[in-house]
């Protein structure tokens, strides 16, 4: 057989079957003239048996196995580097294409293990207190690169620990990579995928209102909203996407999402910044704002990074803030900072981003960051 450049380019165009959720795989098999249940069979091989070689998939006919080997591939990202913090938190730097790297973090606790998953290379938003924002933006991750973070983490953890929860709280804004994130979350919850319950999969968003409104139609997961300020003036500054989707609209979207499932609530994340958003008045404004929505609040001690220009609120300020919310009947927790000795804490994930947004350049010109 002649190997020529046509073969080489055909090879490049192979379909990566990790890019499909169940629905996508069903369409793929039906288009081949096969029955839908082939999708379930393939999911079982991939996610339950961890068999990634088509020739070993014995319930497919020989000709089907051959077709899959020729036309399809099963490609996952690779862990480049692992760091383990003193509290057992693990950070993995994962290699994507063209020198881009993202980060995933595994947080072991007594009764659960939470994987913090990235959705984009960098982030297009410019939240002022987040170091991922400083990296600029390169591109959305593919489904295979998102679900791949669970697969490679599971492989690496082996018998040591189990992934019981996933939070889409790594690098990127998940709802700006809507279709891929939804497909990946469907795979996390599919009985023949990772089989996690919808309570144990959480999407975190800075408040992309139209996408929040679309989400419940296609994927019923828990939702966390990065609020950080209870009035528009401050939120416009800290979370600039607020200028597009202000609090009034955001709260309506939250109430709507919460109303759709039984006993649903929204978790509001609120980073504690000394002298910026941590006064008693801020707490009272927050209580008023949250009246419209069944809420839980998660106060996040600010994690510093080089040139971050903010300080974390004092322990007592955080406690006083919590007390106000608590007295108003809002369940409030203070997030325990995990993995900070390996820069794996919230807002510290930077990866390595070939910035296409030119944000790094602008920040360098403004003297906010320095060129390496």
What residues line the site for ligand SAH (CB under 6 A)?
127, 129-130, 169, 173, 204-206, 226, 269, 271, 300, 302-303, 346-347
- Residue 312 bears catalytic tag: no
Distance of alpha carbon 342 from its chain centroid, rounded?
19
Output the smallest distance, CB 53 to ligand SAH, in A: 35
Strands (E) located in the chain: 15-16, 72-73, 78-84, 90-95, 101-108, 113-116, 120-122, 137-140, 165-168, 201-205, 222-226, 266-272, 295-301, 331-334
Output the smallest distance, CB 33 to ligand SAH, in A: 41
Output the smallest distance, CB 153 to ligand SAH, in A: 18
Count of beta carbons in the 10 Å neighbourhood of residue 134 = 23
Point out the residue whose Cβ comes nearest to ligand SAH.
347
Output the smallest distance, CB 186 to ligand SAH, in A: 19
- Output 73 or 348, the one with its CB closest to ligand SAH: 348
- Output 240 or 294, the one with its CB closest to ligand SAH: 240
- Output 17 or 182, the one with its CB closest to ligand SAH: 182
172 phi-psi bin (left φ>0, alpha ψ -120 to 50, beta other):
left
Output the smallest distance, CB 103 to ligand SAH, in A: 12
Among the listed residues 123, 130, 219, 346, the single catalytic one is: 346
Q: How far apart are CA 250 and CA 232, in angstroms?
A: 11
Q: How far apart are CA 125 and CA 114, in angstroms?
A: 25
- Residue 103 bears catalytic tag: yes
- Output 269 or 282, the one with its CB closest to ligand SAH: 269
Output the smallest distance, CB 21 to ligand SAH, in A: 21
**Residue 44 per-residue DSSP state:** I
- Output 178 or 302, the one with its CB closest to ligand SAH: 302
Q: How far apart are CA 115 and CA 337, in angstroms?
A: 15
* Proportion of the chain in helix, strand, coil states, percent, rounded to 5: 40, 20, 40
Count of beta carbons in the 10 Å neighbourhood of residue 212 = 23
- Cβ 147 vs Cβ 168: under 8 Å: no
- Output 73 or 206, the one with its CB closest to ligand SAH: 206
Output the smallest distance, CB 302 to ligand SAH, in A: 5
Among the listed residues 26, 103, 145, 173, the single catalytic one is: 103
- Cβ 313 vs Cβ 278: under 8 Å: yes
Structure tokens at 56: 């070993």
Count of beta carbons in the 10 Å neighbourhood of residue 103 = 24
State the pairing for strand pair 72-73/15-16.
parallel
- Output 148 or 170, the one with its CB closest to ligand SAH: 170
- Cβ 278 vs Cβ 321: under 8 Å: yes
Active-site amino acid positions: 103, 346
């Amino acid at each position: 057989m002649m190997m020529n450049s046509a073969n080489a380019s055909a090879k490049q165009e192979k379909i990566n079957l990790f890019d499909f959720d169940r629905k996508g795989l069903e369409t793929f098999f039906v288009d081949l003239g096969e029955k839908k249940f082939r999708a379930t069979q393939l999911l079982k091989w991939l996610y339950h048996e961890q068999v990634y070689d088509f020739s070993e998939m014995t319930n497919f006919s020989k000709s089907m196995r051959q077709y899959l080997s020729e036309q399809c591939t099963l490609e996952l990202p690779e862990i480049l580097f692992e760091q383990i913090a003193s509290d057992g938190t693990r950070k993995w730097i994962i290699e994507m294409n063209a020198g881009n790297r993202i980060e995933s973090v595994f947080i072991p606790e007594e009764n659960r293990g939470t994987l913090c998953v990235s959705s984009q290379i960098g982030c297009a938003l410019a939240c002022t207190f987040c170091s991922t924002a400083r990296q600029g933006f390169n591109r959305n991750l593919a489904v295979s690169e998102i679900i791949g973070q669970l697969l490679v983490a599971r492989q690496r953890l082996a018998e040591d620990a189990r992934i019981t929860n996933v939070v889409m709280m790594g690098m990127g804004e998940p709802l700006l990579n809507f279709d891929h994130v939804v497909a990946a979350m469907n795979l996390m919850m599919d009985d023949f995928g990772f089989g996690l319950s919808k309570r144990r999969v959480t999407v975190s968003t800075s408040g992309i209102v139209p996408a929040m409104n679309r989400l419940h139609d296609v994927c019923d997961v828990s939702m966390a909203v990065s609020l950080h300020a209870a009035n528009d003036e401050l939120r416009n500054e800290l979370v600039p996407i607020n200028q597009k989707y202000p609090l009034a609209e955001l709260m309506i979207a939250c109430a709507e999402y919460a109303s759709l499932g039984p006993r649903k609530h929204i978790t509001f994340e609120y980073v504690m910044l000394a002298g910026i958003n941590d006064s008693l008045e801020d707490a009272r404004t927050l209580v008023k704002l949250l009246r419209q929505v069944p809420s839980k609040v998660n106060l996040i001690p600010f994690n510093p990074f080089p040139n971050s220009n903010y300080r974390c609120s004092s322990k007592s300020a955080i406690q006083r803030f919590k007390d106000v919310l608590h007295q108003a009947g809002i369940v409030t927790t203070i997030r325990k900072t995990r993995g900070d000795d390996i820069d794996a804490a919230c807002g510290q994930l930077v990866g390595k981003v070939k910035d296409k947004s030119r944000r790094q350049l602008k920040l360098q010109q403004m003297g906010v960051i320095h060129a390496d």
